[in-house]
Amino acid sequence: MWEKNILITGGAGFIGSHLVRLMVNKYPTYRIICLDKLTYAGNLKNLTDVDNAPNYAFVKADIVDAEAMKSVFAEYEISDVIHLAAESHVDRSIEGPMEFVMTNVVGTVNLLQVAKDSWKGDDHVFHHVSTDEVYGSLGEDGLFEETTAYDPRSPYSSSKASSDHFVRAFHHTYGLPIKISNCSNNYGSHQFPEKLIPLMINNIVNNKPLPIYGKGENIRDWLWVNDHASAIETIFSKGRIGESYNVGGLNEWTNIDLVKYLCRLLDKKLNRAEGESEKLITYVTDRAGHDMRYAIDASKIEAELNWKPSLKFEEGLEITVDWYLKNTEWTNEITSGSYRDYYDTMYQNR
């Protein structure tokens, strides 16, 4: 009955929920099956606007559970996978790498195995969503290209690099029709406030210290989450099998400049005196093994698939800040309880 049955893993997370929304609305003849373990980072409230769509289904399951994956593939006749489920936070991977190995490596191999055993013929896609962190850290110049050698340096990026290698190995060894995308730092609504931008917004709003790691000179290349979702949709529908595509914003900021920009924006939005929020900036002990600079060369996806970011960073940041100011309940709910323990562990003695 459905033209395709697309499994989106990690669909209740930050990027996944934006992608699920895009796919459900854009493809009414495809059934979108959102699968998520609902860890601390997964939240069904991210998906309330698609809950009742006829082409949407939700399954709570762990990708590490092979039997559960087999049943989902059989019950929903899964034709394609867009795989985002992962442990995604670098700082948490430094505190405890094993969860990252389990979900990001073992979970990915599980899914690959089930897809390989279930699919006959070529009319399938296994799209693996990965990160630019697999390429390591850049100096002052240069950009990550698809041909840049892998050089992961944190437990998180090592687990993602390993999963990328397994995805490619399943293509080369078994002919599984795969695609990989490697994206730079995302920002936008519904991002868990452990990541830089939502953490800083939340702390500015609540007049709490703004913890800058080291000197704040590390550089990230920021992309609006909806632009990442549209890049994934573009690669999934038009990209070549067996290929990798880098996705990024050509939008490099040092952490300190970005946090100062957020302070100025929020001073205006909160009717504070100019410079008031900046007083909250506190330099803290650096992240262990902190990668200096990430920056993406996205010319392949632009030339081949005609994809480009749609928004300027300043526009995207304002939309994001407005969303957090309007949705304080969403943030308050997830920052009570275990988030407080997390925050204390990470920041109290830093």
Structure tokens at 266: 């929020």
80 Cβ contact list (under 8 Å, min separation 6):
4, 5, 6, 7, 124, 125, 126, 127, 236
Q: Judged by CB under 6 A, which of 21, 195, 260, 293 binds ligand DAU?
A: 195
Q: Which of 99, 80, 81 is nearest to 41 (CA)?
A: 99
**156 carries an active-site annotation:** yes
Do 105 and 162 meet the contact criterion of CB atoms below 8 Å apart? yes
By the rule CB under 6 A, 255 interacts with ligand NAD: no
Question: For ligand NAD, how many residues bind (rule: CB under 6 A)?
Answer: 30
Minimum gap (Å) between residue 241 Cβ and ligand NAD? 20
Radius of gyration (C-alpha) of the chain in whole angstroms: 20
For ligand DAU, the closer CB: 21 or 195: 195
Q: Which does 171 bind (CB under 5 to 8 A by kind): ligand DAU, ligand NAD, none?
A: none
By the rule CB under 6 A, 14 interacts with ligand NAD: yes
DSSP string, 257-280: HHHHHHHHHHHHHTTPPTTTGGGG
What is the C-alpha separation between 80 and 233, in angstroms, rounded?
12
- Among the listed residues 36, 62, 87, 133, the single catalytic one is 133
- 155-194: which residues touch ligand DAU (CB under 6 A)? 184-185
For ligand DAU, the closer CB: 37 or 124: 37
Q: Which of 70, 79, 80, 71 is nearest to 113 (CA)?
A: 70
Count of Cβ atoms closer than 10 Å to residue 63 Cβ: 26
- Among the listed residues 80, 132, 233, 291, the single catalytic one is 132
By the rule CB under 6 A, 183 interacts with ligand NAD: yes
Please state the separation of Cα 218 from the chain's center in Å: 19
By the rule CB under 6 A, 129 interacts with ligand NAD: yes
Q: Would you call 108 exposed, middle or buried from its count of C-beta atoms within 10 A (0-12, 13-18, 19+)?
A: buried
Minimum gap (Å) between residue 43 Cβ and ligand DAU? 16
Q: Which does 196 bind (CB under 5 to 8 A by kind): ligand DAU, ligand NAD, none?
A: ligand DAU
Angle among Cα 93, 98, 103 to the nearest 5 degrees reads 90
Q: Name the one range near ligand NAD by CB under 6 A: 23-31, 38-46, 142-150, 235-243.
A: 38-46
Q: Name the one range near ligand DAU by CB under 6 A: 22-30, 31-39, 83-91, 222-230.
A: 83-91
For ligand DAU, the closer CB: 87 or 233: 87
What is the C-alpha separation between 235 and 247, in angstroms, rounded?
10
By the rule CB under 6 A, 88 interacts with ligand DAU: yes
Minimum gap (Å) between residue 154 Cβ and ligand DAU? 8
DSSP state of 150: P
For ligand NAD, the closer CB: 183 or 204: 183
DSSP state of 295: -
Q: Which residues bind ligand NAD (CB under 6 A)?
A: 9-10, 12-16, 36-39, 41-42, 62-64, 84-88, 103, 107, 129, 131, 160, 183, 185-186, 192
Q: Which residues bind ligand DAU (CB under 6 A)?
A: 88-90, 131-133, 184-185, 195-196, 199, 211-213, 218, 220, 255, 287, 294
